[in-house]
Amino acid sequence: AQHNITNVVATLGTATTATHLKQLLRYTQHIIFCFDGDKAGQQAAWRALEQALTILNDSVQIDFMFLPEAEDPDSFVRTQGRQAFLDYRTKALSLSEFLLGSLTQKIDTHTLDGKSKLLAIA
């Protein structure tokens, strides 16, 4: 708010729940999660994705934005500025891009067994 970035909310820690998401969807059909670029941010994003899958429908768009490694939203806006933060949204991944990208890092999709495993997990 101090940097005139509106329509945002923050959870305490990484506690995003399906209830939070349902409340947000009363106001918008497009949610962009923004996470720190470190391993903890990736883990928090995965937990948010799991919650999002429980409420997902055709009218909802959920994206995942990951900041550079040493940044959090506050530090990014303070060092790079409001417009840089808003522009960074173009780097956000769709829910399906994040889901499949995360799963394919752990599975060899060059084999039939790997493709079958990916399908089963997804």
Provide the pLDDT confidence category of residue 37 given band limits of 50, 70 and 90: confident
Query: If you write DSSP's letter for every residue of 18-86 in order, what string do you get?
Result: HHHHHHHTTT-SEEEEEE-SSHHHHHHHHHHHHHHHTT--TT-EEEEEE--TT--HHHHHHHH-HHHHH
Q: At what angle do helices 112-121 and 95-104 cross, to 10 degrees?
A: 130
Q: Examine the pLDDT at 122 and tell me if it is beyond 80.
A: no
Which pLDDT value is given to residue 102?
A: 87
d(CA 7, CA 29): 13
Instruction: Tell me the pLDDT tens digit for each residue of 44-74.
Output: 999 999 999 999 889 999 999 999 988 989 9
Q: Given this model, what pLDDT does residue 33 score?
A: 94
pLDDT of residue 21: 92
Predicted confidence band of residue 13 (pLDDT cuts 50, 70, 90): low
**Predicted model pTM:** 0.86
Averaged pLDDT, 77-94? 95
The pairing of strands 30-35 and 93-94 is unpaired
Mean pLDDT to the nearest integer, 70-86:
93
